[in-house]
A and B are shown apart, each in its own frame.
Chain A
Amino acid sequence: MFKRINAPKNGKVSFTFEGRSIDAAPGDTVASALMLAGETHFRDTPVSQSQRGPFCLMGVCFECLVEIDGVPNRQACMVAVREGMSVRRQKGAIGVEIE
């Protein structure tokens, strides 16, 4: 379990992950905020549906892919948290609306 060594001083940013409300600190990325909120399972792979979570936190490994405000396959470690953001797990291959 990860925790912050100091309570954030400059207010907080709230967003949801799979519907659960999460408080983050300004300056957090989606990945760091989720890790600090105890989440490890970010996505299921499109190949075998196995569970994955952040690995490198520097934009290289593409393991922390999530859906943010309806946009799939975003790198959680490269996106800053924003108030009211809705984040979901990336469940395998992305869906498309073709109608």
Chain B
Amino acid sequence: MNYDTIVVGGGLVGAAVAHGLGRLGEKVLVLDEGDVAFRASRGNFGLVWVQSKGEGMPEYARWSRHSADVWPDFSEELQEQTGVDTAYHKAGGVHLCLSEEAWERQSALIKRMHNVHGSDYGAVMIKRDELIKMLPGIGPEVVGASWSPHDGHASPLYLLRALHESITRFGGAYRNEARVENIEKDGSGYRVTTAAGSFKGAKVVLAAGLGNRKLGPLVGLEVPVFPQKGQILVTERTEMKFSMPTVFIRQTDEGSFLLGDSHEDAGFDLTSRTGIMADIATRAIRSFPFLKDLRLVRSWAALRVMSPDGFPIYQQSDSHPGVFSVNCHSGVTLAGAHARTLAPMIARGRLEEPMSAFSTERLNVQAH
């Protein structure tokens, strides 16, 4: 069996691209690992976030905004097709400032981002008096917040499930326990050898997260990504109070509060550390004191897929035409853009503008 495209990686990035390709009528195969892969998707916090993304890289700022713009339609279509609600709410989002210093810093950032996005950026700074009407329950230390109408949140887990369901419904194939061992040219296409057999495809998309680092060199690509640990806490279910997320506290459709934005350089270690959990809890309680009376029922640690400058990496191989690599740490935010804009480029066989800005050339990495 020959596939139009073989997507390596069944996480949010690979699944969004595969869904996008399937939507265009391509015959797609998704190759995935087993049950205990690192799978950053399972540790995603679930923000569709624009306001602070892309400082230092205007293309990324606009790419994030583009994705947020297509999210409503993307999510609705997924639900119509699969019956799975991604729990997406374009409710706006806030970044709380708990000190004058933080307020000043955030104001400056929002001003700079305004210059990047132009007139329809839409984010503004909101003082405490106004904010408390939008977000009752904020703590006494909260000075104010930045707010953007384009921000929102969704369930990463339901999104992943909807994408997998959609890939199947578009006629795509999915193989787990199929860790990729080799990729080689085969006629006009490629042969991908895995733990579960070998498969042929005209094009190949590497969307294996941290795994891309090892896979890239097989097809003439350098993918300088490294793990950054993040921990997330989940509370017991609570009556619904908040539709609007903050940058590290959001209430899910189930009623649980999700807390977390730790950034740890811990290699591939996935241990949940007590001190970090304590730090997250403290920050959350300072933001919303009522959280102190809620119980932590779950926590998890996951590895973000980071590039040296923190921005996504999209590449096509010069030596292996039709082979692409896709890496980012915002698999939820960018799912819309990956499905609706990136996938069609891959289907056409070439990355087009604005993707050149996202190649590793910006990092001065020598390509093979």
- A98 pairs with B290, CB closer than 8 A: yes
Given contacts A46-B255, A73-B295, A93-B255, contact A98 B137 (CB under 8 A): yes
A99 within 8 A of B: yes
Contact with B along A69-98 (1 / 0, CB 8 A): 001010000000000000000001111111
With CB as the reference atom, state the residue of chain A lying closest to B242: A98
- A93 pairs with B241, CB closer than 8 A: no
List of B residues within 8 angstroms of A73 by Cβ: 236, 295
B80 within 8 A of A: no
Given contacts A46-B255, A73-B295, contact A94 B136 (CB under 8 A): no
B293 within 8 A of A: yes
Q: B239 touches which one: A71, A93, A99 (CB < 8 A)?
A: A93
Q: A99 touches which one: B136, B294, B295 (CB < 8 A)?
A: B136
Given contacts A46-B255, A73-B295, contact A96 B239 (CB under 8 A): yes
Minimum CB–CB distance from A44 to chain B (whole Å) comes to 12
Minimum CB–CB distance from B324 to chain A (whole Å) comes to 41
- A94 pairs with B237, CB closer than 8 A: yes
List of B residues within 8 angstroms of A98 by Cβ: 136-137, 241, 288, 290
Q: A97 touches which one: B236, B254, B290 (CB < 8 A)?
A: B290
List of B residues within 8 angstroms of A92 by Cβ: 237
Minimum CB–CB distance from A22 to chain B (whole Å) comes to 26
Count chain B residues whose beta carbon lies closer than 8 angstroms to a beta carbon of A. 14
B99 within 8 A of A: no
List of A residues within 8 angstroms of B294 by Cβ: 94, 96
* A93 to B238 Cα, complex, angstroms: 5
* A95 to B241 Cα, complex, angstroms: 9
* A71 to B293 Cα, complex, angstroms: 9
B145-185 contacts to A (CB < 8 Å): none
Minimum CB–CB distance from A60 to chain B (whole Å) comes to 15
Minimum CB–CB distance from B147 to chain A (whole Å) comes to 19
Minimum CB–CB distance from A55 to chain B (whole Å) comes to 18
Please name 24 pairs of A and B residues whose Cβ atoms are closer than 8 Å in the assembled complex, sorted by A: A46-B237, A46-B254, A46-B255, A73-B236, A73-B295, A92-B237, A93-B236, A93-B237, A93-B238, A93-B239, A94-B237, A94-B239, A94-B294, A95-B238, A96-B238, A96-B239, A96-B241, A96-B290, A96-B293, A96-B294, A98-B136, A98-B241, A99-B136, A99-B137
Not counting A46-B255, A98-B136, a sample of 13 additional A-B residue pairs whose C-beta atoms are within 8 angstroms of each other reads: A71-B293, A73-B295, A93-B236, A93-B237, A93-B238, A94-B239, A95-B239, A96-B241, A96-B290, A96-B294, A98-B137, A98-B241, A98-B288
